[in-house]
A = this chain, B = another copy of it.
Amino acid sequence: MSQSAQNAVIAQSGGPTVVINASLVGVIEAIQETGLAGSIYGARHAVRGMLEDDLVDLTDLPGDQLEQIAATPGATLGSSRDKPDEEYCKKIFQQLAKRDIRYFFYIGGNDSADTCRIVSEVAAAAGHDLKAFHVPKTIDNDLVLNDHTPGFGSAARFVACALIGDSLDNKALPGIKIDVIMGRHAGFLTAASALARSEHGTGPHLIYLPESVFEVEQFIADVDRVYSAMGRCMIAVSEGIHDQSGTAIAQSLAEQFSGEVERDAHGNVQLSGSGALGDHLARLIRERLGHKLRVRADTFGYLQRSFAGCVSKVDAEEARASGRHAVLAAADGLAGASLTLRRVSDSPYQVEYVPVPLAEVAGKTRTMPPSWIEGGCDVNSEFIEYITPLVGPLPQLGSI
């Protein structure tokens, strides 16, 4: 291990994706190339590893191992859902100072950007020169100032491939099918289902996003209209749909059907890792439109962010480049920055990586622009143009 005073730590936070390890590798290889830091540490399970000095030495990881890691789903350093407060951040900083860590690269969503910001401020107040960088990651695509975020393209590809297949299944054995997709506040991933549509009759026919108020009566009328016209209906619905008052439909239907509502440590209704919303919507449709209807619901769950082998090439490249650009920003003398992805051109598709002050991204949530949402149950061609290059070419289909 090198004994340079300029060491670096990298950590991965929040829900893993299939390309978050590509960002990790981007940071490692760029430090190796630039010689930015003497030792490169990885913190196990994000902030917890930093707090407990549970670090792994990444300094001399060889290229072939880095390539394997970059292609592996999940967060190989381990992740955490902890949201550290200022006290916690102070302790983290003290641990980092002991190891002469001067660079802190945190790969995660908007909460991670906020942790980065606080650690950075605590260090500054203590007169310690710690340069903190946030590398964007989230399948929800909900970071402000970003055209899109690493992780989203591959998750969107999963959703599109799932809807292609499931729609063809529904066409072969007609019925009403509900697919519940991740996204508590932002509907980008659910909207990606629209990519599945083709001249071969693939759906979805109805798309419900958390950006719009979900009206039960309108929903029933929509399903009835499509089913009456086509004899089948494919529905893509975000787990985060809610009523006028902001109450999650997952919660209000659970109460209506006397079901159980699981809550997380923060008191939020548990949306992921449960099939309850889909099952409740299926029951609602049967109760309102007929008990003999063939109604099925699938909840895509954790496969959306982890499925091995369903990766958008562009997404993997951008995830890796985001990590590299964070190091380049550090080498340029920047600090306290979040790397953002900006689209420079649509044709040919091209992005650039722009560092911005952490506070501009930290803790903020971006949702679907209203101009991309069509009525209460669809997205328009502007959204399709936006998302197409992020997902890559989809399987070609045939029919008779």
Which residues in A have some Cβ–Cβ distance to B below 8 Å? 12, 15-16, 18, 21, 42, 45, 56, 58, 61, 65-81, 161-162, 164-169, 171-173, 177, 200, 257-260, 262, 265, 272-276, 278-279, 282-283, 292, 295-303, 305-310, 394-400
Contacts and interface: CB of A to CB of B under 8 A. Distances in A.
Contacts of A262: 283
A202 B69 CA distance: 14
Contacts of A68: 396-398
Given A73-B164, A165-B308, A310-B310, 15 more contacts: A42-B400, A68-B396, A68-B397, A71-B398, A74-B165, A74-B172, A77-B400, A81-B173, A161-B308, A166-B302, A166-B303, A166-B306, A258-B258, A273-B296, A298-B302
A21 B275 CA distance: 30
A200, A282, A301, A400 — which one has the most chain B CB atoms within 10 A of its CB?
Answer: A400
A69 B165 contact: no
A273 B282 CA distance: 9
Contacts of A306: 162, 165-166, 168-169
Contacts of A58: 400
12 contacts: A21-B398, A68-B397, A79-B173, A161-B310, A165-B302, A169-B302, A177-B273, A258-B258, A265-B292, A275-B275, A298-B300, A298-B301
Nearest to A258: B258
Contacts of A177: 273, 302
Nearest to A168: B74
A101 to B, nearest CB: 18
Nearest to A175: B273
Count of chain copies: 2
Contact of A16 (B45, B81, B173): B173
A396 B308 CA distance: 9
B303 A296 contact: no
Given A16-B169, A72-B168, A400-B61, A279 B283 contact: no
Contact of A275 (B45, B66, B75, B278): B278
A18 B397 CA distance: 12
Contacts of A307: 161-162, 165
A57 to B, nearest CB: 9
Contacts of A16: 168-169, 172-173
A46 to B, nearest CB: 9
A95 B303 CA distance: 46
A75 B172 contact: yes
A122 B351 CA distance: 66
A43 B56 CA distance: 61
Nearest to A75: B172
